Amino acid sequence: MEGFNLKFVFCLLAIIFLIYFAKHSQAEAKVDGFTTDFISRDSPRSPFYNPSETKYQRLQKAFRRSILRGNHFRAIRASPNDIQSNVISGGGSYLMNISLGTPPVSMLGIADTGSDLIWRQCLPCDDCYKQVEPLFDPKKSKTYKTLGCNNDFCQDLGQQGSCGDDNTCTSSYSYGDQSYTRRDLSSETFTIGSTEGDPASFPGLAFGCGHSNGGTFNEKDSGLIGLGGGPLSLVMQLSSKVGGQFSYCLVPLSSDSTASSKINFGKSAVVSGSGTVSTPLIKGTPDTFYYLTLEGMSLGSEKVAFKGFSKNKSSPAAAEESNIIIDSGTTLTLLPRDFYTDMESALTKVIGGQTTTDPRGTFSLCYSGVKKLEIPTITAHFIGADVQLPPLNTFVQAQEDLVCFSMIPSSNLAIFGNLSQMNFLVGYDLKNNKVSFKPTDCTKQ
């Protein structure tokens, strides 16, 4: 009888083990979809939040970051082989909470659609900038592995990669602000916490383990989560598991709701249904950026045709594909100067009233007396997709009694920023090469 009981116990334990193993193996092999928080860097949930600042001071910092980010993107486009498309200190507007290693170690990193490589500071650190979060210790993880120079991920680094004496793949970058970083290219298990169901785990993802970093990095910068289109980004590494799809819904800055923005992957990221419009995602150089084609914008019946950056006025610059980058990390929308001038002229005619100057010099078109303004809906005409932008997406209250057009002129780079994307479910389908927009109340997502 006693032997029977022991056999029964052993069989029961074996069944429990097999169920557990099958469940967790399946979770790693295939993920239908998951959703997690996309935290604004200026939200009270962000380590960057400064409660002593007013909302207008935080906005002004976001506006300045847009200009710095535009300059950074221009440098990458001008010399893609010399500058890796990593976040500049203070860049990026949203944060994601992921975990690295086994057992998992939490990391609240800057989520950036304008960068590729995932990285964080690691031990041992020969020369690291001070950071609030503890450094990641690879020795405490059962799944950490440095990658050799012949590894495919190392080949994806191109000229940015180098080979150490011990055949370890490394990447080193220097920035115009004298910041620098050296990282070992490594692989690790990533766990992404989900707001729906259990967290999803992904073994063998490549990331940069930084051992020498310095310059103007912020002590609250513990790392970066690249969501760009290059092969080393989180999105591209997860592509086969989540069907090459991700989406986000950005809560408006003006919202009094405590709701957080959300980012979705896999089936949870599908954007469809009434009101959805889609436009082709165009391949460009570098492949980090997500390029769209903007044909023009309209205010009511008046359409303003897109004008590009060509110095030759007879050039068909307006018809060029991939003429604007869509980016969640840039607050403002940057437009070619001639096109912007035409838009501003059309707006002043429609709105009427007396314009005023921005005392900080960020914006070209501003009004005082906010309550009296009648701001029209602006329609952005992308190829195959007319995206209607209400005043919430095109004007921002920069000060107590000052509202400004949140698109600014640029000399050689156009960016569709996150103010223009708020209260839209924005979906990226990297297999079918399209971006979709669906008007959505993001506070209810």
Concatenating the DSSP letter of every residue in 58-72 gives: HHHHHHHHHHHHHHH
Integer CA distances (angstroms), 105 to 233, 248, 359, in order? 20, 25, 45
- Amino acid 233: pLDDT: 94
Residue of 112, 116, 156, 221 marked active site:
112
Q: Is 112 a catalytic residue?
A: yes
CATH topology for 33-262 is Cathepsin D, subunit A; domain 1 (2.40.70)
Preceding peptide of 390 cis, ω within 30°: no
| 255-293 residue pLDDT tens | 666 778 999 999 999 999 999 999 999 988 888 899 999
More confident residue, 110 or 342: 342
| 377-400 residue pLDDT tens | 999 999 999 999 999 999 999 888
- Amino acid 316: pLDDT: 44
> What's the CATH code, domain 270-310+320-439?
2.40.70.10
Which residues are paired to 172 by β-bridges? 182
Region 199-210 average pLDDT: 91
- Amino acid 180: pLDDT: 67
**pLDDT range class, residue 84, cuts 50, 70, 90:** very low
Region 187-204 average pLDDT: 82
| Distance between CA atoms of residues 84 and 72, nearest Å | 10
**Range(s) of the chain covered by CATH 2.40.70.10:** 33-262, 270-310+320-439
- Amino acid 304: pLDDT: 96
The separation between the first and the last C-alpha atoms of the chain, rounded to the nearest angstrom, is 57
Identity of residue 301 = S
More confident residue, 33 or 11: 33
- Amino acid 222: pLDDT: 76
Integer CA distances (angstroms), 435 to 241, 291, 438, in order? 19, 10, 10
What's the Rg (C-alpha) of the chain?
A: 24
Residue of 37, 327, 342, 429 marked active site:
327
Q: Is 126 a catalytic residue?
A: no
| Distance between CA atoms of residues 110 and 133, nearest Å | 13
Q: Residue 71 pLDDT more than 80?
A: no
Of the candidate ranges 166-175, 264-273, 360-369, 370-379, the one whose mean pLDDT is the lowest:
166-175
Q: Of the segments 31-40, 354-363, 430-439, which one has the largest average pLDDT value?
A: 430-439
DSSP code per residue over 118-143: -EEEBSS-SB----SSPPB-GGG-SS
pTM: 0.85
Here the contacts of 365-373 (C-beta below 8 Å, separation 24 or greater) are 365/404, 365/405, 366/398, 366/402, 366/403, 366/404, 366/405, 367/402, 367/403, 367/404, 368/401, 368/402, 368/403, 369/401, 370/397, 370/401, 370/402, 370/403, 373/403
Instruction: Locate 93 and state its tokens.
Output: 């507007």
